Amino acid sequence: MYRGIFILLLNGFVIFTVGVTFASDDKYDELVVGAVYNETAQQRAIPTINDLFAEAVAAKKSRLPLLIMFAADDCGYCEKLEAEILKPMYISGEYQEKVIMRRVMIDNFESVRDFKGAQLETFEFANKYRVTVTPTVLLVDSDGKMLAPKLIGINTVEFYSAYLDDAIDVSYEKLNGSASNYQQVTTSN
């Protein structure tokens, strides 16, 4: 009898099984599955946007900064940033109340609707923020105004994660005030 955790890929679906027991005798092999998790990798990716105007409405309503990752299809550093930092942040749900994460592909030759409603090519939109290297991450408000210095490229994952966390915190505080502004101090006599 064998026990373990297995991850299977089947037609683009990730099937995660926990507490799997294989029992074997001469007559049959038995597979007992404790839990199955089924979700495609595409569903868990940072959403690619082409309507920043609509995203701005959501950002304004929720008072959250908008994180925009500028990426390109053949950019290995973009893949590393998304796979090792942004996707785990996005999937964890821990940042859901702090930032809205989106991606703009600058080499897909599609148009995007900017924060004012104007249609631009993706590279034109990137030029508005002087994005010349991918990956570049911006944190902006609902008007498209930068809230923190842009993060260009990626060095080590550990350092980048710290810089990104700081930029998200600064951006959130600019939109909502610092946490100390909302803490109610009570004193007892």
pTM value? Answer: 0.70
Instruction: Compute the distance between CA of residue 82 and CA of residue 69 in angstroms, rounded to an integer.
Output: 9
Q: pLDDT averaged over the chain?
A: 77
CA dist 32 → 24, 44, 171, 188 (Å): 12, 27, 48, 58
SS3 37: strand
Which of the two residues, 6 and 73, has the higher pLDDT score?
A: 73
* Residue 135 per-residue DSSP state: S
The region of weakest confidence among 87-91, 107-111, 131-135, 180-184 is 180-184
134 SS3 class: coil
Q: What is the pLDDT of residue 156?
A: 87
